[in-house]
Structure 1
Amino acid sequence: MYSGDSSVTASPVSSFARFCRQLTPARKSPRDNKTDQSSFSAPLPSGSDEIHQVFNYFDENGDGKISAEELKNRLRKVGGEEHQLSDEEAEMAVRLSDADGDGMLGLGDFTKMMKEGEDGELREAFVMYSGKSSREECVITPKSLKKMLTRLGAGQSTTVSDCKAMIGRFDVNGDGVMDFEEFRAMMSYKALA
């Protein structure tokens, strides 16, 4: 599977995790205790989290495990032609995250795969913001941040000085650039805001 950006290719796990997050039902709003489950056919226990809901959807037979075949079938059903996996890709996705070696994904394996996929996506974004073509020795500089913000349409009025200030808020070691852990902290902060 492919991330869509010509300079960075995604791993099968991060691409799958990205796709699965698109499947998660709408979050509960404070005024509404119901969660939209219209796209899921499996009954979901009340109070379960989003990853558990997606897991239940992929677990076609309800045995508490996701086989490569279930993964492939469900992905084809909800993703169409664009998100089909070959038998080999489905088996590889399961094999990469199968901790107990039974050839299936339990909820813990699936959760780990989703979290690893999120980390992979974050690393892909970090590389893009750094302006580098590989993950080695990447840092985000004020100039590379300005350049990416401009590409995204948000940097026209942002100066390099503004970018220095943005980086400075999360620059824990004071070196004037943002490393991956500082970028992760910034993105976690933004997600909570």
Structure 2
Amino acid sequence: MSFLRTTDLQRIFQELDKNGDGFISVDQLQCLLDKIGHSHDQTKSADELQKLFGGKPLLDSIDFYFFYKYVILNNVVENEGSKLDGDEGDDDLMKAFKVFDLNGDGFISCEELQSVLLRLGLWDQNNGQDCQIMINMYDKNSDGMLDFEEFKFMMLLSKF
């Protein structure tokens, strides 16, 4: 599987953004997926895609980039899943998970994520982003929180 460079992704995004407003619709993203041969059983429907992005009907280039990484990792997991399944690194990931799981309930909530990111100086309250959107990107069971496996998925994705 070949990976696209950031410049390639920017070019694709600009091609999809016909009116140049810096956004593409979820429907446009679904059409792109259909054109490149990703059937609905491999990816999500337009409604599911919109839910993945926190209900936003329009995506900016950052959302598009994260979605690309999401699709790539899903393909790696499906085609080469055994490489990602081992216990190697799980101890370190569990330690990192516990840093974010402030109340120790086994889940990372939006509030916990934002609190830790603020403490680490990685969150700007004025940036307009919503932690729930970040969580929704990796929340496979749609419960609004990240469990350890979803957190692990997110951390593995950040390596690509």
The TM-score range, normalised by the shorter chain, is 0.3 to 0.5
Larger radius of gyration between Structure 1 and Structure 2 = 1
Greater relative contact order structure (CA < 8 Å, 6+ sep) = 2
Instruction: State the TM-score, normalized to the length of structure 1.
Output: 0.35
